Amino acid sequence: MIETIINGGPLMIPLLGCSIAALAALIDRYLAFRAYSKVDTRSLRAEILTLLEENRIMEAKNLCASTPGPVSAVLLVGLQSFEKLLSIKGSPESLRLIVAKSMEDYSVTALNAVETRLNILSTVGSAAPLFGMTGTVTGMISSFGALSQAGGLDAGVVGAGIAEALITTAAGLIIALAAVIPYNMFMARAERIGLEIEEAAAEMVDFISMRAERDAQNSEK
């Protein structure tokens, strides 16, 4: 393996750096998404709505704060906004809009946290083949240069440059595949998390709106 890397020439150094960066990002995101998958968001949403129905807002907030993941973080922001607005005698529609806006704004931050370091995989997937092709060009240049100096066809002289060209090309493609495939898988999972956030936020907003309307009707009686 070490001999192969050495034969690949100087461009194997940035390719090695790309592979290390991609591996680090891959491990980091795998552990993060694995932790996200362990959270049952449907049960979390149902429990929060039950607590809100019983007017146990503090317990609902504590539940969100103790549950990891972007969905619980967005719901916590909505609960905090709702709690602050309870003392304000506003219309149910204004309450709905403010809570929905607070969760919508924070969902951008939550999704950014989900997608963090995925840009490393994307960059490696784009850059590694370019490094490989550059190594191909420099290897061929080295082969033709050695051939011209030898003054005749010498398989040993030409072979070193061709080996450099092929090794860097293969390394670049392998590293790119190892980065692009996980990147697409993680992005698909991030999109599903985004949908879960939207569903959870919409469910909470509808519940809060109905409760506000019910409280307003009871206060008028």
pLDDT at 210: 81
pLDDT at 74: 94
pLDDT exceeds 70 at position 175: yes
pLDDT exceeds 70 at position 147: no
Mean pLDDT of 168-172: 89
Mean pLDDT of the chain: 84
Is the CB of residue 168 less than 8 Å from the CB of residue 135? yes
pLDDT exceeds 90 at position 99: no
Is the CB of residue 67 less than 8 Å from the CB of residue 44? yes
Question: Token pair for residue 89?
Answer: 């005698």
pLDDT exceeds 90 at position 167: no
Q: Which of 213, 34, 40, 8 is nearest to 128 (CA)?
A: 8
Output the pTM of the full model: 0.82
